[in-house]
Amino acid sequence: MNQQAQQIELVAKERTVIRKHVKQLRREGWTPGVMYGHGFESVSLQFEARNLRRLLSRVGGSQLINIKIEGQDQSEMALVRDVQRDPILPIVLHVDFYRVAMTERITTEIPLLVIGESYPVTQNEGILLQGISSIEVECLPGDLVDSIEVDISSLAELDQGLYVRDLAIPSGIDILTDVDEMIVRVVPLAEEEELEEELEEPIDVDVADVEVITAAQPEEI
């Protein structure tokens, strides 16, 4: 497991520009956002786009962020809850932060970090089949970790796997994900080839059963 790194800070300003007018805000180098939480009145914010992109590139949904709102003495601890990105350009359109109280338990996800090497994989006898990449947990914000390590060096034979029940979970964190969920399993190469052949088989699709989903512009708060 990786403990929370040094405190991450992000400066914000309260935002009065809303809806269609946020396009001009983005042109001026700002990204609109909102912060909300249990027992906390939501507030519209704006962040320097460059600083926000840099922060989002190195934090996950389980990392606490110290948000300092200009003009306020007290900062707020929050988690990234949702990020809306432009489908073409490398631009963050909108970001949601969930403000946490350090004395209240929260529900969030912690990513799983695969480390080590599996002998059958290194010998080209098998391939690593990956299942879930994160687990849902409940804990106090101060007990959060950046990630939980999954050491695959213990998978010395084919058909061995690691499941949620095999994880070393730090005290104070309760797992909500099914303990029988597979994280990784070493499968023979022949089995992998069979899976690829099944995926390559054509599938008959009734056009009437296909739902077309078009991209929609995010509604600004």
Pair 103, 77: CB distance under 8 Å: no
Degrees, nearest 5: CA angle 216-203-128 = 85
| Predicted confidence (pLDDT) at residue 155 exceeds the cutoff of 90 | yes
Structure-derived torsion over alpha carbons of residues 55, 58, 64, 66, reported in degrees to the nearest 10: -20
Among 2.40.50.1020, 3.30.930.10, 2.170.120.20, 3.30.70.330, name the CATH number for the domain at 106-199.
Answer: 2.170.120.20
Name the band, by pLDDT with cuts 50, 70 and 90, for residue 59.
confident
Q: What's the CATH code, domain 7-99?
A: 2.40.240.10
Beta bridge partners of 31: 47
DSSP state, residue 158? T
Tens of pLDDT, residues 72-101: 988 999 999 999 999 998 899 999 999 999
Distance CA 64, CA 128 (A): 32
Tens of pLDDT, residues 181-208: 999 999 998 765 565 565 566 655 444 4
Please state the pTM of the whole predicted model: 0.76
Neighbours of 105 (CB within 10 A): 14
- Helices (H) and strands (E) counted in the chain, each on its own, are 4, 14
The ranges assigned to domains in the chain are: 7-99, 106-199
Pair 82, 97: CB distance under 8 Å: no
From 20-24, 63-67, 103-107, 213-217, the region with the lowest mean pLDDT: 213-217
